[in-house]
């Protein structure tokens, strides 16, 4: 069966340093609501990547260059890349909560943007997962039926939301073989 496989970026394609800094901020400020609002501003394109890093730097008492430097470390998940390359009979798209210009530049510099038929980034489509509209946007743009689509994400709430719109879902866990999980699902 031909499937649309929708991949998350942070935590699935690449290890997620983003949340490490977020957790540092939460420990320092003890203000989850403000941190969530900052992330939403970034992920919906309300602030630029540089503005985001400047806010984190100010809150942590660090230089902007230090914070930006922490995000220059990229640890691509080789298991995920091999799975995408092995599943050639399926269509692969990316759906990520991120700053579009930043993530696009990162993917191009790592040479992995070409693995995906299409790339959907929250700041460009106007919706953040787990908002159902993010998944529905991808399905409409790719002209794919929800029942023939699977979301691979490391966030349980995003998997729940994908299933609520009729997609199948695989919770990505580093210790599990994602290729086998997808093959078990799609046959």
The mean pLDDT value for 60-83 works out to 88
- In this structure, the answer to whether residues 91 and 180 fall within a common structural domain is yes
**What is the rounded CA–CA span in Å between residue 74 and residue 2?**
31
pLDDT for position 57: 86
Give the residue numbers spanning the domain of 180: 4-15+74-186
> In terms of pLDDT, which residue wins out, 22 or 59?
59
Q: Given a cut of 80, is residue 18 above it in pLDDT? A: no
**What is the rounded CA–CA span in Å between residue 104 and residue 111?**
10
User: 116: Cβ–Cβ under 8 A, 6 or more apart, which residues?
Assistant: 7, 84, 92, 93, 94
Q: Given a cut of 80, is residue 32 above it in pLDDT? A: no
Banded model confidence at residue 44, pLDDT cuts 50, 70, 90: very high
CB 96 within 8 A of CB 121: yes
> In terms of pLDDT, which residue wins out, 47 or 25?
47
- In this structure, the answer to whether residues 63 and 8 fall within a common structural domain is no
* pLDDT tens sequence across 127-143: 999 999 999 999 999 99
Residue 171 CB-half CA count within 13 A = 8
- In this structure, the answer to whether residues 37 and 97 fall within a common structural domain is no
Number of domains in the chain: 2
User: 140: Cβ–Cβ under 8 A, 6 or more apart, which residues?
Assistant: none
- In this structure, the answer to whether residues 36 and 102 fall within a common structural domain is no
Q: Given a cut of 90, is residue 8 above it in pLDDT? A: yes
Which segments of 91-155 does DSSP mark as H helices, in order? Answer: 100-110, 122-125, 132-142
């Amino acid at each position: 069966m031909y499937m649309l496989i929708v991949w998350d970026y942070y935590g699935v394609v690449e290890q997620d340093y983003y949340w490490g800094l977020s957790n540092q901020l939460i420990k320092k400020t003890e203000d989850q609501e403000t941190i969530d609002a900052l992330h939403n501003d970034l992920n919906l394109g309300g602030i630029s990547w540089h503005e985001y890093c400047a806010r984190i730097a100010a809150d942590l008492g660090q230089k902007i260059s230090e914070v930006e430097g922490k995000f220059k470390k990229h640890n691509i998940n080789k298991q995920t890349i091999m799975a995408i390359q092995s599943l050639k009979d399926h269509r692969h798209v990316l759906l990520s909560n991120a700053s579009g210009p930043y993530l696009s530049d990162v993917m191009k510099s790592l040479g992995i943007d070409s693995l995906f038929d299409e790339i959907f980034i929250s700041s460009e489509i106007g919706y953040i997962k787990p908002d159902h509209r993010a998944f529905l946007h991808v399905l409409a743009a790719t002209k794919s039926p929800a029942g023939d689509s699977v979301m691979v994400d490391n966030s349980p709430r995003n998997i729940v939301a994908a299933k609520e719109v009729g997609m199948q879902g695989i919770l990505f866990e580093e210790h599990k073989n994602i290729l086998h999980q997808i093959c078990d699902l799609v046959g």
